[in-house]
Structure 1
Amino acid sequence: MRAGDADRQRIADQLKSALDEGRLDLNEYDERVQRAYSARTYGDLDGLLDDLPGTVGVQHSQVQPHSPAPQPAAAVAKGETDHGGRHTFTSALTAFLICTVIWAISSFSSGHAYYFWPAWVLIPVIITGVGALTDRGRRSR
């Protein structure tokens, strides 16, 4: 059976991959590519890839697609499937409180109040707090 241009190109691409992986040296690659491009039948293409490891098709691959972890049945029944907003709010509030303590220690130890820079950390606290409250309002409906 006669080989087409796409068949010859597929073999040449696989040979290029083998060269890039170090499985073929440049002379052997050049020789095999010349044979691939001059092939007229599938029989002429046979043997060019026999000693090279093949690729595994998707259907035989060991890699599994990512699937999210299932929610516990009790949480799903109660409608409590996402606490991300509340956790983010708590984390942001903790960061604000730590920054405020650092500001207070540095201000009192120097004897005068510095600019209250922890206010900038308060911005994410407000944003996540509003988000957590609106999510809770949506879930209760």
Structure 2
Amino acid sequence: MRAGDSDRQRVADQLKFALDEGRLDLNEYDERVQRAYAARTYGDLDGLLDDLPGAVPPQRARIEPHAAQPVPAPGRPGGHGGGRHTFTSAVAAFVICTLVWAITVVTTGHAYYFWPAWVLIPVVVTGIGAVADRGRRGR
């Protein structure tokens, strides 16, 4: 079977790691890397990593695909966007910002622009989302 660029690069990376660990001298590393980049098949890559600990030739590797975890639906227990929690967090952020604004007004004696109003945007958006979630669950 033909080896691809990623296979050759993977072997070269493992050889570089072995060189860095002192398991190969520079001449042996250079020779093996040249053979790795010249390899056309997996058979050509055989023997380049066999005597190095922890290095498994690509054809002998037992790579198993990663099992994807199911993603919970939004608004469900364990899911993202559980309306009430997000809304409560947004309201808490608004209250904290309003307190900071109020303390600044009291300590300076000047009524500055009410910038916490901008924090109301996510409160309104999450509030609408929470009401919509509640309506969907009620059906």
Q: Greater relative contact order (Cα 8 A, min sep 6): structure 1 or 2?
A: 1
* CA separation of 1:16 and 1:112: change in aligned 2, threshold 3 A: closer
Alignment RMSD, CA only? Answer: 3.7
TM-score, normalization: structure 2?
A: 0.64
* CA separation of 1:118 and 1:18: change in aligned 2, threshold 3 A: same
Deviating 4+ runs (over 6 angstroms) = 8-11
Unaligned runs of 5+ in 1: 71-78
Offset from partner CA, 1:90-119 (integer Å, 9 cap, x none)? 011011011112212221333342211110
Pick the aligned partner of 2:69 from 67, 70, 73.
67
TM-score, normalization: structure 1?
A: 0.63
Identity of aligned residues (%): 55
The answer as to whether partners of 2:76 and 2:82 remain within 8 angstroms in 1 is: no
Task: Name the count of aligned residue pairs.
Answer: 124
Letter in 1 for 2:121: I
The answer as to whether partners of 1:19 and 1:25 remain within 8 angstroms in 2 is: no
Does 1:122 find its partner at 2:120? yes
What is the DSSP-based 3-state SS (H/G/I as helix, E as strand, rest coil) of the residue aligned with 1:21?
helix
Q: Which has the larger radius of gyration?
A: 1
